Each structure stands twice: as structure tokens, then as C-alpha cells.
Amino acid sequence: LMDRIPVVRSIYSAVRNFTEIVFSDSSKAFKNVLMVQYPRTGIYSLAFQTSEDLGEVQGRTGEEVVGCFVPTTPNPTSGFIIIVPKKDVVVLDMEVDEALRMIISLGVVVPTWRPGQTGELPLVVPDNGKAARKGETD
């Protein structure tokens, strides 16, 4: 059915190829689902962690950085590669396939949040840039 609708066919085909690469048993393409401040401070985007070992990039920044892929919607096969300081990355409990569904659906399909086993609240990054647990005060 999807192959019969012209616009949907191109998106469906690209997403199918993308998911085959990302979810193959030998692939470790995306390690974590992240939340990063992109395209500017105060606006959060979903991203996928692609790497931590960034060689020269890490050496020249002088700090620990993480390679991230920020996909575009509704076609997550395109997007942006960004390098983010590790201290500014929020790792989500969300699975990669859940994040992809959210991206493809333009944010309409949002996975149910399941707090970690410790029951901790998610990390938030306030304006001062210091990570804190929701509900904590200085």
C-alpha cells in the first residue's frame, strides 16, 4: 500500500532503508537517544549518540564531547551531525525505535515515559547550565 502513494513511497522507502541499516544486528549506529540544546540554547532537540571517541575533534576542543545526529522530520534519514560537550547532553530512557516513531510522526506519537529503576526524575538543564534533577533547588 505504501509503495502506491507517490510522496509516501519516497519517504517510506528512505525510512525503510535507514532502519535496515540502523537496526541490523551488526550495527551499533545509535548508542543512546539524547536531548541536546539545538539549534540554540533553550530549544531542545532529539538526537542520537553516534560516537564518543572523536580523536582530533575531542583533542582540539579540550573537553569531553559526544558525536550526535539530529534527524529532521518526517524523514529521519537526513539531519545534522553536531559535536556537543558531554556535560550538555541529556541521555533519555527512550529506545531508538520509539524516538524514530516520534520523529516520523512529527511529534504526535510520544512514547510513555518510564522512570528508571531508581525512580529518579529526569535531568533538566536550567538557564545557568548546571544539570539538576527536576524539583531540586540550589
94 belongs to a structural domain: yes
Phi-psi region of 135 (alpha: psi -120 to 50; beta: other; left: phi over 0): left
pTM above 0.75, yes or no: no
Q: Which domain holds residue 68?
A: 28-129
102 belongs to a structural domain: yes
Could you read off the pLDDT of 113-136 as tens digits, one per residue? 877 644 444 455 545 555 544 455
116 belongs to a structural domain: yes
21 belongs to a structural domain: no
How many domains are contained in the chain?
A: 1
Containing 123, the helix (H) or strand (E) segment is strand 123-124
Reduced to 3 states, what is the DSSP secondary structure of residue 28? Answer: coil
Could you read off the pLDDT of 90-101 as tens digits, one per residue? 999 998 889 989
61 belongs to a structural domain: yes
Nearest to 65 by CA among 78, 75, 79, 50: 50
14 belongs to a structural domain: no
7 belongs to a structural domain: no
3 belongs to a structural domain: no
